[in-house]
Structure 1
Amino acid sequence: MAIFATLEELKARLDWTLDADEERIATSALEDASDLAVHYVGRDWPDAASAPRLVRTLVLKACKRHLNNPSGYVQSRAGDETLGWGDDQGENAGTVYFTADEQKLLAEIGGRKPGLVSAEVTAWRSQRRPVTAGLVPVAQPVPEAKEFPLFAEEVEPW
C-alpha cells in the first residue's frame, strides 16, 4: 500500500520544527491517513506518484490537523489546568481523520458519487415480450385481451 505523502512534505506545511518523538508520530499519521484515503477512495495505487494529487493534499491536511492538536482538545486553560474534548469530532478526537467534505472528495476520486440510481427489476422466470410503440401489454388469461393504447409515437415510445 502506498503512502501518499512524505515526511518532508508534511514538515514543509508545519509552523515548527519536529523533534524525534513528533517525527515518529508524524510518520505513523502519514501511514494512517494513507490507509484511510485508500478506504474512502475504494482503490489503491501501486505508488504515490500514480495517485491523483488531491489525494496527497488531503492526506497532508489530515496529518497537519492531527499534529496541530494530537489529543483532540477543543478547550484548554493554563490556570487551573482545564482541558476539554468536543463531541463534534466524536470517535475521531485525537486520531487522524478526514472531515465529511474530504471523505466526499475522496469518494468522488474513486468514482463513487452519491445520488439516485435506477436498477431494472424483473420477476423471477419472467420473459420480456416485444412491446409495440404506443401500446401496453394486457394480461393474457383474459379472453380477447388486446394491447392498451398508450399515446406515444413510433419513433419516441416514451
Structure 2
Amino acid sequence: MANFATLDELKARLDWTLDADEERIAASALEDASDLACLHAGRDWTSANAPRIVRTLVLKACRRFMNNPSGYTQSRAGDETLGWGDDQGEDAGTVYFSADERRMLQEIGGRKPGLVSAQISAWNSRRRPVAAGLVPVAQPAPDARPFPLFSDEVEPW
C-alpha cells in the first residue's frame, strides 16, 4: 500500500525540524494514516489514483499525531498549563481521523450511510406490469380496472 503523502510534505506542515527519531515516527504515521484512509473509504487506492483531499486528510491526521505523539491531554510546567482538546479518549496518542474526516472519506469512497430500500419478492414469483400511479385490485370481473393511487396529468381523480 502506498503512502498518500510524503515525509517532506508533512515536515512542511510542522513548526519544528524533525530529528532522526521523529522522522522514523512520522514515516510510520504516514503509513498508518494512509492505511486508515483506505479502510474508512472502502477503496484500494494508490497514491496515483487517490483524490487530492485524501492527501490533505492524511497530512492533517499525521500533523495532529506529531504535535502530541504521547497522547497527553494536559501538561503543566510551573505556572503554565497546556491542554489538548482533540486528543481525548481512546484515540489519544494514535493516528486517527475525526468523525467528520471519517464521514468525508466514506463519501469519497462511495460508502454513504443511511437507509436503503431493497425490493423483495417470493421465490419464483413474477411481477405483473402495472401502470404508474395505479394499484392492482383483485379481478372480480373481467372488466375491472386498477385503482388510482395518486393523480397524474392524464387522469386526475
Which bin holds the TM-score, normalised by the shorter protein? 0.7 to 0.9
Q: Deviations over 1:116-140 (max 9, x none)?
A: 4322222333211122456432346
Number of residue pairs the alignment of both structures matches: 152
Counterparts of 1:27 and 1:129 in 2: how far apart (Å)? 60
The residue number in structure 2 matching 1:45 is 45
RMSD: 3.0
What's the TM-score once normalised by structure 1's chain length?
0.80
Retained in 1: the 8 A contact 2:72–2:87? Answer: no
Q: Deviations over 1:103-152 (max 9, x none)?
A: 11111111222344322222333211122456432346xx5484442164
The residue number in structure 2 matching 1:91 is 90
The sequence identity of aligned pairs, in percent, is 76
Give how far 1:78 is off.
Answer: 1.7
Q: 1:119 aligned to 2:118?
A: yes
C-alpha spacing 1:135/1:127, structure 2 compared with 1 (3 Å): same
Structure 1's unaligned 5+ residue stretches are: none
C-alpha spacing 1:21/1:89, structure 2 compared with 1 (3 Å): same
The residue number in structure 1 matching 2:53 is 54
Give how far 1:89 is off.
Answer: 3.6
What's the TM-score once normalised by structure 2's chain length?
0.80
Give how far 1:85 is off.
Answer: 8.5
Counterparts of 2:116 and 2:127 in 1: how far apart (Å)? 22
Structure 2's unaligned 5+ residue stretches are: none
Counterparts of 2:133 and 2:63 in 1: how far apart (Å)? 62
Give how far 1:83 is off.
Answer: 9.6
C-alpha spacing 1:89/1:127, structure 2 compared with 1 (3 Å): farther
After TM superposition, list the pairs within 5 Å mapping 1:2-151 onto structure 2: 2-46=2-46, 48-79=47-78, 89-132=88-131, 135-139=134-138, 144=141, 146-150=144-148
